[in-house]
Amino acid sequence: SNLTDSDGAIDITIPVSSAAHTYDTSMADGTAAFANTPNPRNLSYSAGVGATVMVLNIFTTTTTLRAGGAPKFNNKTMTQVGTAQTDTAEGSAEMWYLLLNASDTGSAYNISVPNTGSRNLRLHASTYKSGTGMSALDVYAQKFEPGAGVANPNQTIVTTENGDVMIDALFSGHNAVDGAVPNIGSTLFAQDGGAYGAASRYYLQAASGSQLLLWTLTNDDYALITAAFKVVPKYSLNITYNFTETTSSSSWQSISIQDSSYGDPLTNVSIFNNASGLWESLSPSGFSGGTTSAQHVNTVVGASGNASNYDAGSGQIKIKYNWTGSTENNTLGVDILNVTVNYAFGGYYKLNITSNTTGIPNTTIPTNHELQIKYYVSGDNFTLQVWNGAAFVNQTTLNKSSPSYYNYTLSSNELKPDGKTTGGTVDDIDQYYVLVRYVDLTSSGVQGNLYLDYQRVYSW
């Protein structure tokens, strides 16, 4: 039976406003003099489970920039923020980042920094966790001050999303960078290297907008890179369609489900199993976003004898469309959702057909009336009955497997009044009719067929 659906409530959750970054952990590498390092320079680093972004600040002495290409973490190539900045006199700063997934966290992996020019390096690495499980670069700024420079290195960035994390990479020609104080946020590392030094800090910004990041430090040349990483919003959708079948689920044999719909690539379609209390996936395929409808579900459940398990109560069948954690704000469209309950076979086949032949003339003139049928059967035998005014009475068993005739002389009590003929040149003639029933008296699990060519009555 085809069921009519009733739309369930749509529940869309976009956890953006409450999502933000949190600090995970950090690590530094390099001696006070920045160290004359090998190629590559490796640092073993353990990002916490759930970390979503790593930021690596690289500092060099002398104005010759580091050579050798992009650093890697867990053998994955990092992406540079802007370009390397040099103060033109004493050193430089670089910033790189990597968006992390579960395979990068929870264990120690190498940060590997190419250094083909054997530059003196210092590394400041740190990791952060997005409240939605995904981060992305939002905005960045970079600058340098040559010569005597200016006091209090700073720059302003304007973020676009709530919950950003901001990171600074400062190289300074000042000889007491370890005393630098950030105006906001937390110092990761502030290390003096003698005639120069390096500092890094992070700041968790609650609300998007303009933010000044400043270091209180005596004037000198410096190179500064500042980046902000945003939370990537995640979208979820949950909608349930309810169908009701009034026939008892004890007779349900299976349930067929077909649809025409569109939705996010993460869309799942499921049916509620009341016996287990769980939603079972209907294994949809082909969702790709967009708004073009196509069939994504074409399946049968309950065919193993458990169709009644999907009766959620009072014959209700529940079908759910949902997705969780999408990075796109896609829409769901369900143009067709067809749920068909197939009933269990009752264990036997039945036949019960009544037919009549009318316009039979007067029963005394002529006096003979004979019923004739032409038929054949397959798969089963059937019984022919005639109505005598009180009951249908068995007359013969129809069992011929090839076209055959059966003739039966009707008695007066089997002919029932059917009015009179009119409009002729003689007196009106009484007319009669006869009722004939074809039945299967030995109903069974075998499906038979009765082929009836014609039924008529001869009178003479």
Residue 14 confidence (pLDDT) above 50: no
Q: What is the DSSP letter of 345?
A: P
pLDDT of 223 reads 95
Note whether 254 and 307 are within 8 A (CB).
yes
Q: What is the pLDDT of residues 303-322, one digit of tens each?
A: 888 999 999 999 999 999 99
Q: What is the pLDDT of residues 77-130, one digit of tens each?
A: 999 999 999 987 789 999 999 999 999 999 999 999 999 998 889 999 999 999
What band does 346 get if pLDDT is binned at 50, 70 and 90? low
Q: Which of 8-22, 214-228, 244-258, 363-377 has the highest mean pLDDT?
A: 214-228
The span from the CA of 215 to the CA of 170, in Å, is 9
pLDDT of 425 reads 57
The span from the CA of 407 to the CA of 198, in Å, is 114
The structure tokens 């007066």 sit at 412
Region 282-296: what's the mean pLDDT? 93
Q: Which domains does the chain have, with CATH numbers?
A: 5-13+241-343 (2.60.120), 21-231 (no CATH), 352-459 (2.60.120)
pLDDT of 33 reads 64
Mean pLDDT over the full length of the chain: 90
Q: What is the pLDDT of residues 132-166, one digit of tens each?
A: 899 999 999 999 998 777 899 999 999 999 999 99
Q: What is the pLDDT of residues 168-222, one digit of tens each?
A: 999 998 888 999 999 999 999 999 888 889 999 999 999 999 999 999 999 899 9
On the 0-12 / 13-18 / 19+ scale of CB atoms within 10 A, 411 is: exposed
pLDDT of 424 reads 60
**CB neighbours of 91 closer than 8 A, spacing ≥ 6?**
59, 60, 61, 62, 63, 171, 173, 196, 223
- Selected residue with higher pLDDT from 429 and 20: 20
**CB neighbours of 50 closer than 8 A, spacing ≥ 6?**
24, 105, 129, 133
The span from the CA of 34 to the CA of 123, in Å, is 9
